[in-house]
Structure 1
Amino acid sequence: MKHEQLVSINVGKPTVMEFNQKEIVTSIFKMPVYTLLELDSDGFQGDAQADLKNHGGKDKAVCVYSYGHYPFWEKELGRSLSYGAFGENLTVNGFLETEVCIGDIFQLGSAIVQITQPRQPCFKLSARYQSPEMPIKVQQTGFTGFYLRVLQPGKVHFENQLILLRAHPQAITVAFANRVMHHDKNDYDGIEKLLSVEELSSSWRNTFEKRLLGIKIDSSERLTGRSQRERQETQ
């Protein structure tokens, strides 16, 4: 894999919707843009995040998702999907999680970007598709997509290609990172291997370092949108 054509660039602003009988603010609804866009370390011009704790930031400036996964989800959800269906900024051909690696560097228009971590699915996918199991299914399939940091700001057009400039020498795939994070949580050799990748995002580094120390992290609120207090009240 050397380069692939973009399918779509998608941006959006926070909007309000109802989920679990309460209002939530989300930026998961993104629309394709067909003009030249500025891209800097905070992301694309015209894009914004509602939850800066879990989305956005320097390590997660751009979310990427492979169009190759769309047919699977269309069958799973029983509906057709438009570009940006997973809240991604870049809908791309190829670039599957089994092919790309943490630390890989790409040319994108006149910008230069780098893979930092897999995308972690959250409950807002459930809200968008009225499918409570959606985040878990994304984890189980490994069809997560991934995030980019911006090493060099520039301008990007949807007709540009994502061109590999440098494959990371450790070649630790996004799929490997997903497996260690979500499935083989006691694979301490795998954790050490991921921590050895200097380009790994700070949030995933923090999670893995805590795991090595035996500190348990509750991610259920991210997956369900319900706080610990809310969960206790329904038990």
Structure 2
Amino acid sequence: MELLSVNLGRARAVPYTDQPDGLTGIDKRPADGPVRVAAPGPKGSAGSGLAGDAVCDTRHHGGDDQAVYAVAREDLDDWARELGRPLDNGSFGENLTTAGLDVSGALIGERWRVGAEVVLEVTSGRIPCRTFQSHLGEQGWVKRFTRKGAPGAYLRVISPGEIRAGDPIEVVHRPDHDVTVALQFRAVTTERTLLPRLVAAGGALHPEALEQARSYVAKYPEKYAEM
């Protein structure tokens, strides 16, 4: 398992973002040399966990529980065949493009060591938005991406440090539950009846997803009394 590229975005003006200033950092490109990774701080007041990476919409992106976004090169290749056009590393706005790692099949709370120093923890899948759709220029992209159910993974930073293209990736911890990124994504998008299963992931899960799961369980106290 390998880190193929570390991708950073610069803020630039586009006509399709909901941001008042019209800026987005979704257009990410592979970086030359090492990149510092650290927990950025609470959502809403902090951006990316990668130094030099712009997050313009801090209402919905960035913060400790979405510090890093990873996508498997294998998934990009699958989409490239389906769309009939090449997709470079960073095309999905991901910070990390990986090889040999089933990113969407990772367990919530799974930990990856990247290079010698950095440890990241999987928190949730990426929810597609209009900016993502317009960036790719594909009609109906949000629905299409959602149907496929391979969203890539958001991660929090457990141990900071530097990473670079070519670093090995090692899974150093797998939690004792079966809640994958793909399952979590389906639960919060197309299959809400799966929400109770997310509770098993506990505090490793993105707080917003965990609150959705607990709220769903609370609506049916008799059915989910043991959770």
TM-score under structure 2 length normalisation: 0.84
| Aligned CA distance change for structure 1 residues 94 and 121 (closer, same or farther; 3 Å) | farther
- Give distance in 2, aligned partners of 1:62 and 1:11: 11
| Aligned CA distance change for structure 1 residues 190 and 125 (closer, same or farther; 3 Å) | same
Provide, for residues 159-211 of structure 1, a one-character-per-residue CA deviation record: whole Å limited to 9, x for no partner: 111111111111321111122122221335324434xx221011212333344
What SS does structure 1 have at the residue aligned with 2:139? coil
Match of 1:202 among 200, 207, 214: 207
Instruction: After TM superposition, give the deviation of residue 157 of structure 1 in Å.
Output: 1.3
Match of 2:91 among 70, 74, 85: 85
Instruction: After TM superposition, give the deviation of residue 53 of structure 1 in Å.
Output: 1.2
Match of 1:105 among 105, 111, 119: 111
The answer for unaligned runs of 5 or more in structure 1 is: 215-235
Match of 2:13 in 1: 16
Instruction: After TM superposition, give the deviation of residue 213 of structure 1 in Å.
Output: 5.0
Instruction: After TM superposition, give the deviation of residue 121 of structure 1 in Å.
Output: 1.2
What SS does structure 2 have at the residue aligned with 1:19? coil
- Give distance in 2, aligned partners of 1:132 and 1:20: 16
Match of 1:175 among 178, 182, 190: 182
Match of 1:150 among 149, 157, 162: 157
Match of 1:5 in 2: 2
Aligned amino acid, residue 73 of structure 1: W
| Aligned CA distance change for structure 1 residues 211 and 123 (closer, same or farther; 3 Å) | farther
Provide, for residues 64-111 of structure 1, a one-character-per-residue CA deviation record: whole Å limited to 9, x for no partner: 001111223223333211110000000011332553100011111211
- With 9-18 and 96-105 compared, the bigger mean Cα shift is at 96-105
Match of 1:116 in 2: 123
Match of 2:30 in 1: 32
Aligned partners of 1:10 and 1:84 also within 8 Å: yes
Provide, for residues 119-146 of structure 1, a one-character-per-residue CA deviation record: whole Å limited to 9, x for no partner: 1111112111222311211111012101
| Aligned CA distance change for structure 1 residues 82 and 76 (closer, same or farther; 3 Å) | same
What SS does structure 1 have at the residue aligned with 2:193? coil
The answer for unaligned runs of 5 or more in structure 2 is: 41-48, 220-227
* Root-mean-square deviation (Å): 2.1
- With 147-156 and 204-213 compared, the bigger mean Cα shift is at 204-213
Match of 1:56 in 2: 62
Match of 2:167 in 1: 160
Match of 1:219 in 2: none
| Aligned CA distance change for structure 1 residues 98 and 111 (closer, same or farther; 3 Å) | closer
Provide, for residues 201-227 of structure 1, a one-character-per-residue CA deviation record: whole Å limited to 9, x for no partner: 11212333344456xxxxxxxxxxxxx
- Give distance in 2, aligned partners of 1:123 and 1:89: 19
**Regions of 4+ moved over 6 Å:** 20-23
Instruction: After TM superposition, give the deviation of residue 13 of structure 1 in Å.
Output: 2.0
